[in-house]
Chains A and B, each alone.
Chain A
Amino acid sequence: MLSFIAKRLLVAIPTLLILIVSSALLMHAAPGGPFTGERKLPAEVLANLNAKYGLDQPLWMQIWTYLKDLIFHFDFGPSFKYKDRTVNDIIAQGFPITLKYGFWSFVVATVLGITAGVWASIRQNTWVDYLVLGVAIFGAVLPGFVLAPILVLVFTLWLRWLPGGGWEDGQWQYLVMPVIALSTGYVASIARIMRSSMLEVLTSNHVRTARAKGLPESVVIWRHVMKPAMLPLVSYLGPVFVGMVTGSVVIDMYFSTGGIGRSFVDSALNRDYSVMLGITILVGALTILFNLLVDILYAWIDPKIRY
């Protein structure tokens, strides 16, 4: 097991390097640059900007310098747009925010999703099942950018229960709407995955055997169905967790949380190369890490899997 983990972590290094180089090449291939705007800058002004940010160097040199700074100084470079802040600042300030609302959204989505999925599967073809399926389909098709303004309208303007946005260091009042908006779609997907996976396991031989032994239904579900039924869900939850904690542009846009989801999308639109690369690396590293965690979880859940 340990050698498996070590091997995977070693493979992560070239993976991240490929990610960095290919992202950098793609970014620079896109038309326009960080200083392209409505006003075409005078040549000498543009030259000064390019010189300040090293964009006057050949691309391979830029990438090489970036990698050196990153590896030896853990320096993600300056932002071309947010001139008072470095990429390290932007990530250090925004990531804890997205981590917090992402984590709580993940908790809510998995708890509600698994509960609903299990409940629907053991009451298959009853009103419970139809209700869960109906709500799940509704939740899955309702995009965040529709749900978010509705939440603000209801909770801020009509009920006056919650502030319409902001973060205030993540006090619960500021956390409620982002968590609802971010988790709803995932609750739906998780419920559906859990339900179908449960139904499959419920009809398997070992469950029939367990029932034949006369085990009470609750024990059958808990001990013999839940664990194998979790397998497909676990592989889904790894990337979902990374997706949630690295932020959502919809949440940051509509709730003014200041998270990195918005920064990520903005950096692409602004051609803010270093911010884009910095967040790409963060997302990439987390994805690698959580895929590894999922594989470890697999081995724990399913005794047939050995590394």
Chain B
Amino acid sequence: MKKHLLLSTILSLTLAGGAWAANNPETGEALSDNANFSYWLLDSIATLDPQLIETVDDSDVARQLFEGLYTEGPTGDLIPAGALGYDVSDDKMTYTFHLRPEAKWSNGDPVTAADYVYAWERLVDPATASSYAWYMELMQIENATAVIAGEKPPTELGVKAIDDLTLEVKLITPLPYFVKMTVHGSVLPVHKATIDAFGQKWTDPGNLVSNGAYTLTVHKPGEKAVVTRNPMYWDNANTMMETGTFLTVNDNSIALTRYEAGELDTVGIPSGMYPQLKADRPDEAFSAPRACTYYYLLNMDTAKGPAALQDVNVRQALSMAVDRNIITDKILQSGQIPAYTLTPAAMAGFTVPDVPMAAMTQEERTAEAKRLLEAAGYTADNPLKLTLNYNTDEGHKKMAVAVQQFYKAVGVELTLNNNEWKVHSDLMHSHDYEMARSAWCGDYNEASTFLDLFTSSSGFNDVAYVNADYDKLMADAKTMEDPQANYTAAEQILAKDMPIIPIYHYTSSRMLKTDIKGYPSMNVFGNWYLKELYRVAQ
């Protein structure tokens, strides 16, 4: 309250004076006259409808417009936003969220539990045909699967408005990290009356009604979008940036030039340029872990995959022969972390387990790879021949060429097969490949977002990997308060069976202007909220 008073006093004083100069209400730092933050988007915005969003770029914009039950702090901690708190039943299968009474939509309507119910039902409604509908199944919400399959109406979804400010959610499994999953963009509330009135056009500037700290004022597809402070937002008094500008620049190098020209406040660093930029401008360049892992798939499909990959020794050898340090230090050069296991260390509450391969030197690994291949019957006269598929991208190509060389050293002949993205994905999903490049970025801040991929029932298990012990560990982990022991065991099984070759864990390397403060550079999902950002006077 004191904070609000202070800010409003400052605001009224400065407005009366006719000049815009304010201070950060918490730190007291003097703020710049320039209260716009300019952010780079690689692609044009495909949609701003939370239930239809599929890309990181779109989520970056939507996160400023809409506010869900919880937001995420710089280190992944949950911050009450649309919800003040929640109760959970003894069987941990019913969550009751208490909504913030002062929350309003930008048109002045109160944000009610019915808005959440509407949005969540909308996500699974077959008529919406959201490609993220499965997220609600992942959240273990009652009847999600049946609604998506069209067997039950959306109103049967296990989510109910008890009253305007009480939202009840019923789960089918006591999922310990359920609340963490509410940060995701697909479960943000939307304003029903607006959607009913405008249909597909509801996200146009002027139509769009939002409940976040900002409203959409400009959207020129392929060029830019502008969001402007929402005076109806419950915490508007503490919002410091007046506007956010999202510029679409399809080329990273051009984006960097425009950053240097002062048109952008932050930009991703083009591949391979991090060391130079860090040396030149250490205050602006940074690199931080991201919740993503890059790996090669080894097709274990008995009908479609190569016979050689059925042999665990061969799979081990193929993994050992890859010199991760050369890839991270010489090719990528942005602080990426060599990976010997699937889940990144950056995931909240997760400790990377010890696996034997990580402790070996590369010389030892290469020697062991040779030995294993020989034991499997592959020699100089009878070399192992495999094909690696990758999708069109300079970075993937460089790595594939490097891996080809690593394999040559152990007597494996690797043929590279480049395809455009859709063809590559199609071949992967239909198991028509031998080895394929792939990667995964977590959906929520918990290790299962990675480890669930390779259960035998997972739709994302493109390697046809089946291990009953692994499945059981992951199924049991769903209800455990502290599932780390199961995750450790699961990672060790993966490291032993080696259905995939983990190569590196991602980092996000960016340039950020020194006068921008509050940017959560350590957030492993890159989730940032414009309302937390401010620009200091320099």
User: Footprint of B on A, CB under 8 Å?
Assistant: 30-33, 35-45, 48-49, 51-53, 78, 81-86, 90, 93-94, 148-149, 152-153, 156-157, 160, 163-167, 252-254, 256-259, 262-263, 269-271
Task: Decide: A42 and B422 in contact? CB cutoff 8 A.
Answer: no
- Chain B residues with Cβ below 8 Å from A37 are 54, 131, 425
- Chain B residues with Cβ below 8 Å from A82 are 44, 46-47, 221
Q: How far is the CA of A39 from the CA of B55 in the complex (A)?
A: 12
Task: Decide: A49 and B131 in contact? CB cutoff 8 A.
Answer: yes
Given contact pairs A45-B148, A82-B47, A258-B223, A165 touches B247 in the complex (Cβ within 8 A): yes
Q: Is B162 an interface residue (CB 8 A)?
A: no
Q: Is B496 an interface residue (CB 8 A)?
A: no
CB proximity of B154 to chain A, nearest CB, Å: 12
**What are the nearest 4 A-B pairs in CB distance?**
A32-B422, A258-B222, A52-B129, A164-B258
User: Footprint of A on B, CB under 8 Å?
Assistant: 44, 46-49, 52, 54, 126-131, 133-134, 137, 145, 148-150, 200-201, 203-204, 220-224, 247-251, 253-254, 257-258, 260-261, 263, 420-423, 425-429, 438-440, 459-460, 462
* Contact partner, A49, options B129, B223, B224, B263, Cβ 8 Å: B129
Q: How far is the CA of A53 from the CA of B134 in the complex (A)?
A: 19
CB proximity of A168 to chain B, nearest CB, Å: 8
Q: Which of A32, A81, A166, A256 has the most CB of B within 10 A?
A: A256
Task: Decide: B258 and A156 in contact? CB cutoff 8 A.
Answer: yes
User: Looking across the interface, which residue of chain B has its beta carbon closest to that of A270?
Assistant: B422
Task: Decide: B425 and A36 in contact? CB cutoff 8 A.
Answer: yes
User: Looking across the interface, which residue of chain A has its beta carbon closest to that of B201?
Assistant: A84
Q: How far is the CA of A30 from the CA of B419 in the complex (A)?
A: 12
Task: Decide: A44 and B149 in contact? CB cutoff 8 A.
Answer: yes
CB proximity of B452 to chain A, nearest CB, Å: 12
User: Looking across the interface, which residue of chain B has its beta carbon closest to that of A166?
Assistant: B223
User: Looking across the interface, which residue of chain A has its beta carbon closest to that of B151?
Assistant: A44
- Chain B residues with Cβ below 8 Å from A41 are 131, 134, 459
CB proximity of B347 to chain A, nearest CB, Å: 18
- Chain A residues with Cβ below 8 Å from B52 are 83
Q: How far is the CA of A165 from the CA of B247 in the complex (A)?
A: 9
- Chain B residues with Cβ below 8 Å from A263 are 222
* Contact partner, B220, options A44, A81, A156, A167, Cβ 8 Å: A167
Task: Decide: B261 and A256 in contact? CB cutoff 8 A.
Answer: no
- Chain A residues with Cβ below 8 Å from B429 are 36, 40
- Chain A residues with Cβ below 8 Å from B462 are 40
Task: Decide: B201 and A166 in contact? CB cutoff 8 A.
Answer: no
Q: How far is the CA of A37 from the CA of B477 in the complex (A)?
A: 28
Given contact pairs A39-B460, A149-B254, A152-B254, A256 touches B248 in the complex (Cβ within 8 A): yes
User: Looking across the interface, which residue of chain A has its beta carbon closest to that of B391?
Assistant: A38
Q: How far is the CA of A167 from the CA of B218 in the complex (A)?
A: 13
CB proximity of B121 to chain A, nearest CB, Å: 14
Task: Decide: B127 and A52 in contact? CB cutoff 8 A.
Answer: yes
- Chain A residues with Cβ below 8 Å from B128 are 48
Q: How far is the CA of A94 from the CA of B221 in the complex (A)?
A: 8
* Contact partner, B459, options A38, A42, A78, A152, Cβ 8 Å: A42
- Chain B residues with Cβ below 8 Å from A45 are 129-131, 133-134, 148
- Chain A residues with Cβ below 8 Å from B426 are 31-33, 36
User: Looking across the interface, which residue of chain B has its beta carbon closest to that of A53?
Assistant: B129
- Chain A residues with Cβ below 8 Å from B438 are 38
Interchain Cβ contacts under 8 Å between A and B, 16 examples: A30-B422, A32-B425, A36-B425, A36-B426, A40-B462, A43-B459, A51-B129, A82-B44, A85-B200, A156-B258, A164-B254, A164-B257, A166-B223, A256-B224, A256-B248, A271-B422
Task: Decide: A94 and B148 in contact? CB cutoff 8 A.
Answer: no
Given contact pairs A32-B423, A48-B126, A256 touches B249 in the complex (Cβ within 8 A): yes
Given contact pairs A48-B129, A48-B133, A257-B222, A31 touches B422 in the complex (Cβ within 8 A): yes
Q: Which of A32, A35, A78, A93 has the most CB of B within 10 A?
A: A32
Given contact pairs A45-B134, A82-B47, A262 touches B261 in the complex (Cβ within 8 A): no
- Chain B residues with Cβ below 8 Å from A253 are 250-251
- Chain B residues with Cβ below 8 Å from A270 are 422
CB proximity of A301 to chain B, nearest CB, Å: 39
- Chain A residues with Cβ below 8 Å from B459 are 39-43
- Chain A residues with Cβ below 8 Å from B253 are 149
User: Looking across the interface, which residue of chain A has its beta carbon closest to that of B146?
Assistant: A44
- Chain B residues with Cβ below 8 Å from A160 are 261
Besides the contacts A44-B149, A166-B223, A252-B250, what 18 more A-B pairs have beta carbons closer than 8 Å? A33-B422, A38-B425, A38-B440, A40-B428, A40-B429, A43-B459, A52-B129, A84-B200, A149-B254, A156-B257, A164-B261, A165-B249, A165-B254, A166-B224, A256-B250, A258-B220, A259-B222, A262-B222
Task: Decide: A149 and B220 in contact? CB cutoff 8 A.
Answer: no
Task: Decide: A165 and B258 in contact? CB cutoff 8 A.
Answer: yes
Task: Decide: B44 and A152 in contact? CB cutoff 8 A.
Answer: no
* Contact partner, A94, options B49, B127, B149, B222, Cβ 8 Å: B222
- Chain B residues with Cβ below 8 Å from A256 are 222-224, 247-250
Q: Which of A31, A78, A163 has the most CB of B within 10 A?
A: A31
* Contact partner, B200, options A86, A152, A254, Cβ 8 Å: A86
User: Looking across the interface, which residue of chain B has its beta carbon closest to that of A32?
Assistant: B422
Task: Decide: B126 and A262 in contact? CB cutoff 8 A.
Answer: no
Q: How far is the CA of A163 from the CA of B52 in the complex (A)?
A: 33
- Chain B residues with Cβ below 8 Å from A31 are 422-423, 426-427
CB proximity of B298 to chain A, nearest CB, Å: 17
Q: Which of B44, B128, B261, B439 has the most CB of A within 10 A?
A: B261
- Chain A residues with Cβ below 8 Å from B263 are 156, 163-165
Q: How far is the CA of A247 from the CA of B160 in the complex (A)?
A: 50
CB proximity of B247 to chain A, nearest CB, Å: 7
Task: Decide: B44 and A258 in contact? CB cutoff 8 A.
Answer: yes
Task: Decide: A149 and B251 in contact? CB cutoff 8 A.
Answer: yes
* Contact partner, A157, options B148, B203, B257, Cβ 8 Å: B257
- Chain B residues with Cβ below 8 Å from A153 are 257
Task: Decide: B250 and A40 in contact? CB cutoff 8 A.
Answer: no
- Chain B residues with Cβ below 8 Å from A44 are 145, 148-150
User: Looking across the interface, which residue of chain B has its beta carbon closest to that of A49?
Assistant: B129
- Chain A residues with Cβ below 8 Å from B221 are 82, 85, 90, 93-94, 258
CB proximity of A113 to chain B, nearest CB, Å: 27
- Chain A residues with Cβ below 8 Å from B48 are 84
Q: How far is the CA of A90 from the CA of B440 in the complex (A)?
A: 31
Task: Decide: A35 and B131 in contact? CB cutoff 8 A.
Answer: yes
- Chain A residues with Cβ below 8 Å from B254 are 148-149, 152, 164-165, 254
CB proximity of B308 to chain A, nearest CB, Å: 24
- Chain A residues with Cβ below 8 Å from B145 are 44
- Chain A residues with Cβ below 8 Å from B126 are 48, 51-52
Given contact pairs A41-B459, A256-B247, A167 touches B129 in the complex (Cβ within 8 A): no
Q: How far is the CA of A157 from the CA of B260 in the complex (A)?
A: 7
Given contact pairs A31-B422, A32-B422, A48 touches B257 in the complex (Cβ within 8 A): no
Task: Decide: A36 and B422 in contact? CB cutoff 8 A.
Answer: yes
User: Looking across the interface, which residue of chain B has its beta carbon closest to that of A94?
Assistant: B222
Q: How far is the CA of A45 from the CA of B459 in the complex (A)?
A: 12
CB proximity of A109 to chain B, nearest CB, Å: 23
Given contact pairs A42-B459, A52-B127, A252 touches B222 in the complex (Cβ within 8 A): yes
User: Looking across the interface, which residue of chain A has its beta carbon closest to that of B250?
Assistant: A253
Q: How far is the CA of A43 from the CA of B429 in the complex (A)?
A: 12
Q: How far is the CA of A126 from the CA of B126 in the complex (A)?
A: 73
User: Looking across the interface, which residue of chain A has its beta carbon closest to that of B249?
Assistant: A256
Task: Decide: B257 and A81 in contact? CB cutoff 8 A.
Answer: no
Q: Which of A45, A82, A149, A160 has the most CB of B within 10 A?
A: A45
CB proximity of A17 to chain B, nearest CB, Å: 27
